Amino acid sequence: QKPRILVARAIFPEVIERLAQHFEVEANVHDDIWSPAEFAAHLRDKDGALTTGSERIDAALLAACPRLRIVANMAVGYNNFDLAAMDAGGVQGTNAPGVLTETTADFGFALLLATARRVTEGERYLRAGQWRRWSYDLLAGAEVHGSTLGIIGMGRIGQAIARGGAYGFGMRVIYHNRSRLAPEVEAECKANYVGKEELLRTADHVVLVLPYSPESHHTIGAPELALMKPTATLVNIARGGIVDDAALAEALRTRRIAAAGLDVFEGEPQVHPGLLEVPNVVLTPHIASATLPTRLAMAQLAADNLIAFFAGRGPLTPVNQPRPRSDTNG
């Protein structure tokens, strides 16, 4: 009897075909929108799941799904996992790190450049027919090359952004992280460790790339925005909830900081109305890893985790070490 797998959202057909060589697969190929209760109903008789990072995996869900042994997220972030509940329930979680690093860092620069140089504001101005003539300060923005780049969260993606900033744009790179990097990694990234306050006070461009957790909730709120330079920009490609979006909307409205570029939002796909009202923000719908080669690599890594786990080889990219689940498979 093959293990039963639920693929919670529509993904690449070739990945579903590959999973079907190993498992009995139920896939949400029509990408139906499932409520948490519907998701639980589809998962009830499954041994494993491939999720996208939006599906909440908590104690109530695990109680409803006694066979479940593993959930493989097709995302590097896994704040949809209640790890304590998964540990206690004996359910393995895996994420998809590494394969999206450079692609996501590229998008960090897309947002940083668009924000600093007012690209989308300029396009709106042009499309609205407001462009009549040259003027010396028309849509003047902030320098990127040679400026100070402050990175909060120095994992793989943060390091890739540091290298891009230092080597590509000649930026002075400072970073803050829960733990300091090894000296040789700092040297390779040309990045200097500073405290969070110093980073906020001195950076011209602040990029957020830290994982979401209760500890990182509102890492940037009104007190932090108050420390930033009035000319500074803020980019969030990490997770909604790391920034207090209401406080940011207010800081943008009052020009407490110059501009922001946001790919993630509190309560997405809802966006704080205050952010939709201000001109000095670039808004994108959580697409930092969205190239087809990268999304395919993420889906394949999630599938690899499921295949390795059920073959008894252990997961490739585990995010927890659950105690074995008492076998209810019969």
56 binds ligand GLV (CB under 6 A): no
Nearer to ligand GLV, 155 or 221 (CB): 155
d(CA 116, CA 234): 9
DSSP string, 107-170: HHHHHHHHHHTTHHHHHHHHHTT---S--TTTT-----TTSEEEEE--SHHHHHHHHIIIIIH-
d(CA 90, CA 84): 10
Nearer to ligand GLV, 107 or 310 (CB): 107
Token output for 7:
């693929």
Which residue among 22, 44, 67, 156 contacts ligand GLV (CB under 6 A)? Answer: 156
- Which residues have a catalytic role annotated? 239, 268, 286
User: Smallest distance from the beta carbon of 157 to ligand GLV, in angstroms?
Assistant: 4
Nearer to ligand GLV, 211 or 274 (CB): 211
Cβ distance 191 to 168 under 8 Å?
no
Token output for 301:
């890594």
Which residue among 80, 92, 177, 289 contacts ligand GLV (CB under 6 A)? Answer: 289
User: Smallest distance from the beta carbon of 213 to ligand GLV, in angstroms?
Assistant: 13
209 binds ligand GLV (CB under 6 A): yes
Query: Which range in 61-69, 156-164, 170-178, 183-191 contacts ligand GLV by CB under 6 A?
Result: 156-164
Which residue among 3, 89, 93, 97 contacts ligand GLV (CB under 6 A)? Answer: 97
Which residues face 259 on adjacent strands? 233
Residues that bind ligand GLV (CB under 6 A): 53, 75-77, 97, 100-101, 155-158, 209, 289
